[in-house]
Chains A and B, each alone.
Chain A
Amino acid sequence: MGQTAVSSVSATGRWIRDIASPPARYHSPRRPGLPAAWWRSNRRYTLYMLRELSSVTNALWSLRLLAQLRSLRRGPEAYGAFVKTQQRPKWLVFNLLVLGLAAIHSVTFLRAAGKGPTVHVGGHLVPERAIIGGAFAGWAAASQAVLLVLLARWQGRGAPEEVRRDVSA
């Protein structure tokens, strides 16, 4: 079978959507099923598999965050030593990899947010672009909130006594 793009044509005959061409020998009668490297044969498939891989790196990052919090129990020295490990090339590479794949997940996930729901406001259908714009605005707001909390020097109710004295001094 040749490499023909699978497309939908609207009633007016205009192309409304191009779906990627299937890779060579996608469903060959001689080799039924997917070839092992199917995801390398097309940029969109590769991006899809990278997006799926982000769930692995995000979960590993969560484990590392919990390990960081666990080190709090071993005292300030142990916690400081843990924070210093972030400077090691191995953990820098890990964090950059997590960041790259997490960004792919965020962009693809938030773009998909506009595909599902049909939202009506005042009897008018909210366009997909507006929903996606709202999702990206939410991402920006969430990122800003994380940054503000990390930069804040607030004094919590649950703060240890010596910390309260330190902050109020």
Chain B
Amino acid sequence: MSARRMAAADPTEPLWWSLFAAGGVLTALFVPAHVAFQHLFEAVGLPVATASYDRTRRLVSQPLVALYVLALTSLSFFHWAHRFRYYVMDFGISGARRPIAWICYGSAIVGTLAAMRTVARVQVRKD
């Protein structure tokens, strides 16, 4: 790649790609298990921790679990943002690339802030 083309390349691309890749790994490893063992088990009435209010509060009050929930949700948003940005091009929408990128990454940032707020607010206060 010539120096001129390098200069034209988006300098923030490595950041977005890294967040996308991290989200890809985390969602690949953990989302199927969560859907199957958490939400589908809840649906059929199996006694998993998240079916109980008390057990869920206890779980998300563990610092490691809180951090894990934050990483899983936030990185899945960044994974979506980077993929969706190019997904719309696959459907033939090749214009407005910059606004689409802003909307995608902006939504992921807003989603991350919302996830941080949610995880922080459901922590049980220590006496």
Contacts and interface: CB of A to CB of B under 8 A. Distances in A.
Interface residues of A, number: 64
Contact of B76 (A59, A68, A75, A147): A59
Interface stretch (A20-28, A102-110, A125-133): A102-110
Contacts of A146: 30, 33-34, 37-38
A152 B49 CA distance: 7
Q: How large is the interface on B (under 10, 10 to 19, 20 to 34, 35 or more residues)?
A: 35 or more
Nearest to B73: A62
Contacts of A105: 24, 27-28, 31
A158 B123 contact: yes
Contact of A36 (B37, B86, B92, B114): B92
A119 interface: no
B83 to A, nearest CB: 4
B32 A160 contact: no
Interface string A78-95: 011001001100011001
B51 to A, nearest CB: 5
B41 interface: yes
B13 interface: no
Given A106-B29, A149-B49, A150-B49, A160 B114 contact: no
11 contacts: A52-B87, A55-B79, A58-B79, A61-B35, A62-B73, A72-B57, A99-B35, A103-B32, A105-B31, A149-B59, A162-B54
Interface of A: 33-34, 36, 39, 49, 52-56, 58-59, 61-66, 68-70, 72-73, 75-76, 79-80, 83, 86-87, 91-92, 95-96, 98-99, 102-103, 105-106, 109-110, 138-139, 142-143, 146-147, 149-163, 166
Given A33-B92, A59-B111, A156-B59, 18 more contacts: A34-B92, A39-B90, A55-B27, A59-B79, A64-B39, A66-B114, A69-B60, A69-B119, A72-B56, A73-B122, A99-B32, A110-B28, A146-B37, A150-B37, A154-B58, A157-B126, A159-B124, A161-B127
